[in-house]
Structures are given as C-alpha cells and as structure tokens.
Amino acid sequence: MGRGMYSGELALKFLPMQAADIDVVIKNERRAYSHPWTEGIFRDCLASGNECWMLKVADRVVGHAILSMGAGESHLLNICVNPEFQGQGFGERLLVHIVERAGVNHCSCVFLEVRASNLTAYKLYERQGFTEIGIRKNYYPGHMGAEDALVLVKELILE
C-alpha cells in the first residue's frame, strides 16, 4: 500500500457512535492518548448532540472523531486511531469525514487544538487544509508540566 489516503480493499464504514459503543471506543482512546477522555466525557458528548463518529474496518472499530457545533461554526474535539492501525491513512479518512459533516451541518469553519509536540496530527491537519491561527499557552496537562496548544482552522465554502 502506498503512503497517503487509505485505498485498500477492506470494508471501511463510518458509523454514528452510540452509548453502547463507548466501551470499545474507550479502549482505542486509552491506547492512543497519554491523557484519555473518561467514559463520562463520551456520554456528555453523545447527550449534547455532537457529531460522534466511529470508523470501522472489516467490522473492527479502529478510530473515532467528535465534532461540536454552534453558531455556524464547529470544533473538532477528538480524533483518534488505535495505534495498531495508525500510519495507514485512517486518521485522514476520519478527518475528511468529520469535515464533511461540518459542511452538511452548514458550518463555515472547523477549529481544533493540537499539542505543540504532536507533529503527526499537525501534518495531517495541514495536508487537509487547516492553517495555524494561534496558540493557547499551557492548555494541555503533560507528564513534564503543561503543554501549549496550537489552534488551527479550516474555512469551509458554504453552498
């Protein structure tokens, strides 16, 4: 398989997350993040009417993404791929899907924060047309003290 967008033969499906999925989603979350979300945060996200999506590959949940929306704008709150499945373009597929959902919901832009040290995610966002617009000092907890967040945005063309 070449680098870049996943283009394999495996059945690839996007499914809306439901409360019953949180157990499996949280396994991926805990493996992928140093500071994973709790079950309660996922429950709140579902209850708040956010766009909460899972990516399934050959019937295995490999990742998830969550987008909040309000006042015609959106915010990517979480995007995560199980480490076993990273580097194969699934993160990019999830990102494209969630940006599409922002468009379907008539949002004019997608904001996100990313850890200053998270180069893989940063490069992915850049490839997908996000640009850096600011920095939030000491935004994330870290093992070596707090870490800055970079704020990125992608403007969407409204139909």
Ligand X SMILES: CC(C)(COP(=O)(O)OP(=O)(O)OC[C@H]1O[C@@H](n2cnc3c(N)ncnc32)[C@H](O)[C@@H]1OP(=O)(O)O)[C@@H](O)C(=O)NCCC(=O)NCCS
For residue 159, the minimal CB distance to ligand X (Å) is 27
148 binds ligand X (CB under 6 A): no
Residue 33 CB contacts under 8 Å (≥ 6 apart), including other chains: 80
Within residues 36-65, the interface with ligand X by CB under 6 A covers none
**CB-nearer residue toward ligand X: 69 or 121:** 121
> 122 an active-site residue?
no
Tell me which of 10, 33, 138, 158 binds ligand X, using CB under 6 A: 33
Structure tokens given for 90: 């699934």
Give the DSSP letter string of 115-157.
ETT-HHHHHHHHHTT-EEEEEEEEEE--BTB-EEEEEEEEE--
CB closer to ligand X, 45 vs 121: 121
Query: In the beta sheet, which residues pair with residue 76?
Result: 67, 112
Annotated catalytic residue, options 6, 29, 125, 147: 125
Catalytic residue list: 113, 125
